[in-house]
Structure 1
Amino acid sequence: MKILYVVLDGAADSPSSPRRTLEEANKPNIDSLGSHAVCGMVYTVKPGVAPQSDYATLSLLGYNPEEYYPGRGPLEAFGAGIEMRRGDVALRANFATVDPGTLRIIDRRVGRSLTSREARELASAVDGMELEEGEGVALFRATIGHRGVLVLRHRRKPLSDAISNTDPAYERRGRFSVALEKYEPYIKLSNPLSTDESAVLAARMLNEFTLRAIEVLDNHPVNKARESRGLLKANAILSRDAGVLPQEKPPGFQEKFGLRGVSIVEMVVERGIARYIGLEDIHVEIEGRAREEVYREEAARAVEALETYDLVYVHLKGPDEPGHDGSFEGKLKAVEEIDKHFFAPLLDGISSKGLEPAFVITSDHATPWDKGAHSADPVPLMISHPGLRGSVDRFSESTCLSGGLGTIIGGYRIIPKALSLLKDYVG
């Protein structure tokens, strides 16, 4: 049995949304999979939590984040290929636009206009910054667009990840960060979350890096050129979700499920998760390419992978960004593009090769366009295979709310549930 596991990032909306993307989108290829399917809803983490993509994805891949989540920072570092050491602290980072005098945030993501080339040039200006009078160092890597990874290292003392975020839009709650609906748009200097010296030192180093980075970046040639073109400066770095190397790695995916798995993902953190749990990684270049071209290549690579691997995990980012931007039409277009340019060639390729995989289709979280942020709502889940007894006419919130799978608490239960269903009904 082969399984094709497709996650539509942020595609779900809330039952309270005035319009819902999956209800209205013209997606005949996705919906055709409902002819032999069972469906339900899933809280990818747990009720009451508006999950971020990192720990939601870890959960969807079968790992309870309460047990196995190392923090967003290390996952980003794994994905970016940064070699972390014991005692290092890693953080997810964003280039942002601020008023250098007041630290007021003008745009958390530089208007989504920063190119990866520009980001790499800016990153090189702060990478290797000496901190704590030469006792510490900051390693910084740009990844995709405005995103980056920061690793703090002290040459003599270990650092703790028990520190607060400098990005005010996210609040640490235990090991997890939660997006805030309302926040003051100013950089928040980091505070130690314990009295331990290693936490005090880590917070102090993060604050030194944050303030000095503004001095370095504000008049950087890249930002001068952007300013001359009427674009926002990428003159600050916001950091969140500190983490350290876990004491031990989780059990590998094949060891845990008896399946040889591979991932086709777009973002660095998703690549880091794949490496963390031992999935093979198929890289598809997304920079500077039309979205439909990327989808078609991802579809082709998925078909190829099904001939070798037992489970192929595909994570498609498209719908999430327009959800954050509050654009219903943008989300609708993103889902329809996925249906046309990913699922149509995917199904054609599977048919031409005589393959008959099971499909698992869901979202990592809801990003209701009317809210502009992740929500705590459960998301639709569909498991499809010709051998399954069941039929739904549409993959959507309303259909899945009344589906036979009911409501699953914890995305880490999806793969065991799918394997059980396929064993019982497919044999």
Structure 2
Amino acid sequence: MSIKPLAFRMRPKTIDEIIGQEHLVGEGKIIDRMVKAKQLSSMILYGPPGIGKTSIASAIAGSTRFAFRTLNAVTNNKKDMEIVAAEAKMSGKVILLLDEVHRLDKGKQDFLLPYLENGMITLIGATTSNPYHAINPAIRSRCQIFELKALSIEDLKLALTRAIHDEEQGLGNKNIQIDEDALTFFATSSNGDVRSALNALELAALSTAADNDVIHITLEVAEECMQKKSFHHDKDGDGHYDVLSGFQKSIRGSDVNAALHYLGRLIEAGDLTSIGRRLLVIAYEDIGLASPQAGARTLAAIESAERLGFPEARIPLANAVIELCLSPKSNSAISAIDSALGDIRSGISGDVPNHLKDAHYKGAAELGRGIDYKYPHDYESGWVKQQYLPDKLKHKKYYAPKLTGKFEQALAAIYQKLMK
């Protein structure tokens, strides 16, 4: 008979055994209250892999004593769901953990919806994707949405220590002695994934020969068993957009070190397309008129990176990131156009003044088109005062200069002179 993996055996049976996620399962928190009141509603749990989504679902079932079934939205078919539904009809309620719930197709969704409506099936959907982006609104609207937080180093150490001493489900009958630096290594190198940490601990315990009945797990053993947890970056996942957001905001905030960190994560993911697009946006949105040449130099760096490919592409990209971080910042251009668009989309517009209207056709003069237009090049300064905005907006000012760079300071001086 096969022995189930340690990570599976150590899953909590009740919510009191859950490690971390205090904001949901702590005393008086929402899931704790739901379980104690035995008034469960369908929910979606989302967060990175290995932080306890399945554990919370099984612990809820264990705490409430309702029947608990696990399916996967991709690998299980509609017939599997029909079996769960039949059981729900017989017992009155079944808790269904549906992994990868964001991959639920329309046929399975349509089958489940009536059972969610009448409460016979309480759905606990698990996903690593942001449900507001990835889950069909029909399912999402019938569920509470709870975000799980990454486990801390101390949380992971607690899980590992508990597994070492648990004689029933863990490794407590193996007389394990683990060095503190080895325990810390398991906790830190698993990147918050308790499943990965427990799997490595189990490998260490099973592969290390006992000395005088003691299995001694050193840092060297831990490193061999843990290897290095592979860097995981899902280009289509929610975390990808969080990294891109952190990347842009770090450059906007002139933090070179943070920006290079996020650039490194995007490089490790091999996502040259997103890096290039985001850098070009930053050059015009965040640096803008404070240093207009930054846009051209950023484009040149992106084109160089695309021609070079990785790993050499990291060099022009790093150049661009450092320059953008340390450039003066101005969002005056995007603020100006967004303000103009805001008026237009709110219906604040008006006719083009008659003297600006097209007069290149016969009969235009009879319609009053183009009459009294003053041609600026006929004037010595190349400028003449006349109205260009529609009457409704003739006193409107969209552009508000930022005096953060020499170029825009010069523009601001001209602008103020013209406004007077």
TM-score range, shorter chain: under 0.3
The TM-score normalised by the length of structure 2 is 0.25
Quick check: which one's strand share is greater? 1
The TM-score normalised by the length of structure 1 is 0.24
